């Protein structure tokens, strides 16, 4: 991985982890505070609602008390029509004043034996009822002088709630929860409905309001969870947007940071490569590069100068040393060539017979086994002969060893002329004896070759210092395909025995044993 990618990767990873941790802590803190603040708001709103109810019902209590203490309430039931009529007009006027008040009293009536005496409101069977999606509370007060006479007051709960809720922020998410006979009703700004499940709302269970005026009725302000869910949705949406935007900005910043760091490093890399190619140019940093880069470039330039001087000195030293080494190498090559020539001569001398120039017996022992095994593996004929100069001892005794050596040379010359194809197969075996062998797929020519050699030796004359000496040879030979268990010594023995037979039978002849 390139350094730029590593810097970008590590910078982005570290900052991304930090952003995730901070964002998660912020989100957790915000959500927990949201619920806490919502419950606090509900508490405050319920407290305010209780105060409003207390104020309203205190006024109603006081109003009912004042009406009941008024003499007109008694005079209404007087037998005198003039007195009762005047009392009714007075009470009607008083009722109308109360109905027009701010405390949401919509109607009032004086009832006797379920019959309306004053007012136009007729008694309802229940204290809480809903009419035209509007909840009402019927409040009654019995006259102390007669239980059959009572004062009824109709309280518009919806109007009261609207007056109260209009002063609240986000009032469309607040609801008035009405509990009566274990049934729950939900009142908001738009409608009134019965609740089957109140788990979709947040509310304080210990904040239900009840009063002696509102028998079997309890009230509570509840808060819709949809508002919180909607708020959380937008919070998450904004959070994700800001998070992705932060990542995008982080990528841009990390990429720019890595580019700025790597840009100078790339320059140093190019500069280093130029030093490697012996281009000792000076590194010039940009004006906007960091101070550390400028200091590093200065150190690099000083190092480049020192390397340039050192390189030139080393090149001069290497050139001088190279000349010395080349001169020494030329001398060594000359010496090696002379040594190779000497070694070749020594090697040749070690395997050649000094008198005849043929290979000696030591080389024969090395060579014959290798060729014999080759013939055995390939199923070829192994043809061998031993040649001996007849009466050679008498020649030495009569004419001396020098003349004997000349006779040997004469025979060797004839052998070389006939064995040009087999020069690496002809050997001086010892004294006046020679060995020759061949491997071949056929055995016809070997015997003809031996006869030719014997005849040419017989017909030749060895003339030394005007001295003519007649020389003949005897040949013992064998021809066969070696078997797996055969060894070459067996063939030497066969050829040697054949030579012995040739000597016994009068010399100057060939004895050939086949198979």
Give the Å distances, CA to CA, from 87 to 79, 276, 348: 12, 123, 168
Q: Rounded CA gap, 266 and 49, in Å? A: 73
Q: What share of the chain is helix, strand, coil (3-state, %, to 5)?
A: 60, 20, 20
String of DSSP letters for 236-295: HHHHHHHHHHHHHHHHHHHHHHHHHHHHHHHHHHHHHHHHHTT--PPP---TTS-HHHHH
**Phi, psi (5° rounding) for residue 448?**
-65, -40
**Phi, psi (5° rounding) for residue 426?**
-105, 130
- Pairing between strand 461-464 and 467-470? antiparallel
**Phi, psi (5° rounding) for residue 39?**
-65, -35
Assigned token pair, 459: 């017909």
Contact 168, 174 (CB under 8 A): yes
The question of whether 55 is a catalytic residue gets the answer no
Q: Please count the other Cβ atoms lying within 10 Å of the Cβ belonging to residue 401.
A: 10
Q: Rounded CA gap, 138 and 116, in Å? A: 15
Q: Rounded CA gap, 390 and 386, in Å? A: 13
The rounded radius of gyration (Å) of the Cα atoms in the chain is: 70
* Burial category of 422 from C-beta neighbours within 10 Å (exposed 0-12, middle 13-18, buried 19 and up): middle
> Residue 227: which of 174, 284, 153 has the closest Cα?
174
| Three-state SS at 515 | coil
Which of 320, 432, 456, 497 is labelled catalytic?
432
Contact 154, 105 (CB under 8 A): yes
Contact 189, 172 (CB under 8 A): yes
The residues carrying an active-site annotation are: 432
């Amino acid at each position: 991985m390139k350094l730029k990618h590593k810097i970008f990767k590590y910078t982005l990873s570290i900052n991304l982890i930090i952003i995730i941790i901070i964002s998660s802590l912020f989100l957790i803190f915000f959500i927990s505070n949201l619920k806490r603040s919502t419950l606090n708001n509900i508490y405050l709103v319920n407290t305010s609602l209780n105060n409003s109810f207390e104020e309203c019902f205190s006024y109603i209590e006081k109003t009912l008390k004042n009406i009941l203490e008024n003499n007109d309430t008694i005079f209404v039931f007087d037998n005198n029509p003039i007195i009762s009529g005047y009392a009714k007009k007075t009470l009607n006027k008083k009722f109308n004043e109360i109905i027009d008040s701010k405390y949401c009293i919509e109607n009032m009536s004086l009832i006797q034996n379920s019959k309306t005496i004053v007012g136009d409101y007729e008694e309802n069977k229940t204290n809480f009822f809903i009419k035209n999606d509007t909840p009402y509370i019927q409040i009654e007060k019995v006259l102390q002088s007669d239980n059959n006479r009572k004062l009824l007051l109709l309280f518009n709960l919806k109007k009261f709630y609207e007056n109260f809720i209009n002063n609240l922020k986000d009032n469309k998410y607040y609801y008035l929860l009405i509990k009566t006979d274990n049934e729950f009703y939900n009142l908001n700004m738009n409608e009134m409905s019965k609740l089957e499940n109140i788990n979709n709302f947040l509310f304080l269970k210990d904040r239900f309001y009840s009063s002696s005026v509102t028998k079997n009725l309890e009230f509570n302000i509840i808060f819709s969870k949809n508002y919180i869910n909607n708020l959380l949705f937008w919070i998450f949406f904004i959070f994700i947007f800001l998070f992705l935007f932060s990542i995008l900005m982080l990528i841009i910043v990390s990429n720019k940071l890595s580019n700025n760091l790597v840009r100078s490093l790339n320059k140093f890399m190019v500069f280093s490569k130029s030093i490697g190619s012996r281009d000792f140019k000076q590194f010039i940093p940009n004006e906007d590069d960091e101070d550390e880069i400028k200091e590093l470039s200065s150190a690099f330039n000083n190092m480049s100068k020192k390397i340039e001087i050192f390189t030139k000195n080393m090149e001069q030293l290497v050139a001088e040393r190279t000349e010395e080494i080349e001169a020494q190498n030329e001398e060594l090559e000359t010496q090696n060539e002379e040594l190779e020539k000497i070694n070749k001569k020594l090697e040749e001398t070690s395997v050649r017979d000094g008198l005849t120039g043929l290979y000696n017996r030591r080389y024969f022992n090395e060579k014959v086994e290798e060729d014999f095994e080759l013939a055995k593996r390939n199923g070829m004929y192994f043809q061998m002969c031993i040649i001996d100069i007849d009466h050679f001892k008498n020649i030495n005794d009569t004419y001396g060893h020098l003349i004997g050596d000349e006779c040997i040379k004469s025979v060797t010359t004839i052998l070389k002329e006939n064995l040009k194809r087999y020069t690496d197969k002809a050997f001086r075996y010892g004294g006046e004896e020679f060995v020759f062998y061949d491997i071949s797929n056929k055995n016809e020519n070997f015997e003809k070759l031996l006869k030719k050699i014997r005849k040419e030796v017989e017909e030749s004359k060895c003339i030394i210092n005007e001295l003519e000496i007649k020389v003949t040879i005897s040949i013992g030979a064998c021809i066969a395909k070696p078997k797996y268990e055969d060894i070459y010594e067996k063939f030497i023995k066969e050829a040697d025995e054949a030579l012995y037979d040739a000597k016994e039978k009068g010399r100057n002849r060939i004895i050939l044993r086949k198979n």
